Amino acid sequence: MKFSVEDNVNLSMSNTLRLPVRAEYYCEAYSTEHVAEALTFVERQGLPLLVLGDASNVVLPPVLKGLTLRVRMEGIEQHGDVIKVGAGVNWNNLVMLLCEDEWSGLENLSGIPGSVGAAPIQNIGAYGVQIEDCIVSVSVYDRHDGCACVMSREDCRFGYRDSIFKGEYRDRMVVTNVSLHLSKQFTPVTSYRDLQAANVQTPLEMARLVRSIRSRKLPDPVNAPNVGSFFKNPILDESAYVDFRSAHPTAPDGVRTDEGVKIHAAWLIERCGLKSMRVGDAMVSEQHALVIVNTGAATQSDVDELATRVREAVSDRFNLSLTIEPTVLPL
């Protein structure tokens, strides 16, 4: 497919929050060569570059200045128990396809919207599993050095919903492929309460169960535009968690991780009485307090103001700080 650049492209239906947005210039990259051509274009024109996947975890401003590059690399290759996947492949479609083929490792991550390329950037996770658990390496195009290279799992510096791609390399690396280590031996991860009674025998059964739970708990972006969980669960050290439970004995049990004890941000928001709170057409979902939905014609300013009010309310009542999970691009 030939590389091309369009101007003044409407992306309002191409972000899952359905915010009104136009790209000054827009292109799609189906190969590393296309990425290189996009970089040549912005260098010659003196323009900034924004890289997007499925725009399922980003809050966009009305105008995207410069060139917006959408990653579209396809392809799934098997090399023994390592599966190499193009960054443009739909994440949930990949998970279901691999589970149908009895590959295990990703089943708890079914139902998450977005593309494969976004998965390591965000270090997506759900129901006791994070993508870092399966990653072998991430293939990238280095914008600074103008070349393709491969980063190991350790190079990615994964953390809770975090990676080097959101920090030091935020505007440097374009993810092109992700290599995942999977297994044909199914060992169900059922540490989360919703899965503890699960009687599943295959990765596909687990994936279907997780999708069913997510559909009951979380609003569907198709019918209620959103970017999934808008706030991260706060993580406390053991001493702070003991103090928190003492002050709030009705709070759900925290989840112990290597980083500390994760407490439920949704419960904090609900206790503040913020479900259905609105700013313009942005609203805290009635279905799940972690989700902000677009009820009609919400703007980035509406979403930003609502998120600020939620964070302030939780801070005032619990003296805890909520961190925003999606990337919020500046106006």
Task: With beta carbons less than 8 A apart as the criterion, state whether 34 and 52 touch.
Answer: no
Which residues are catalytic, by number?
161, 229, 325
Residue whose tokens read 């691999």 = 98
Q: How far is CA 262 from the centre of its chain?
A: 18
Q: How far is CA 292 from the centre of its chain?
A: 14
What is the C-alpha separation between 190 and 210, in angstroms, rounded?
11
What is the C-alpha separation between 109 and 211, in angstroms, rounded?
9
Residue 201's Cβ-count burial label (10 Å; 0-12, 13-18, 19+) is exposed
List strand residue ranges (DSSP E) for the chain, in order: 6-10, 22-29, 49-52, 58-59, 63-71, 76-79, 82-86, 125-126, 129-130, 135-142, 147-152, 173-181, 226-229, 235-236, 255-257, 260-262, 278-279, 282-284, 291-294, 327-328
What is the C-alpha separation between 94 and 236, in angstroms, rounded?
34
Q: What's the sign of the alpha-carbon dihedral 281, 285, 287, 291?
A: positive
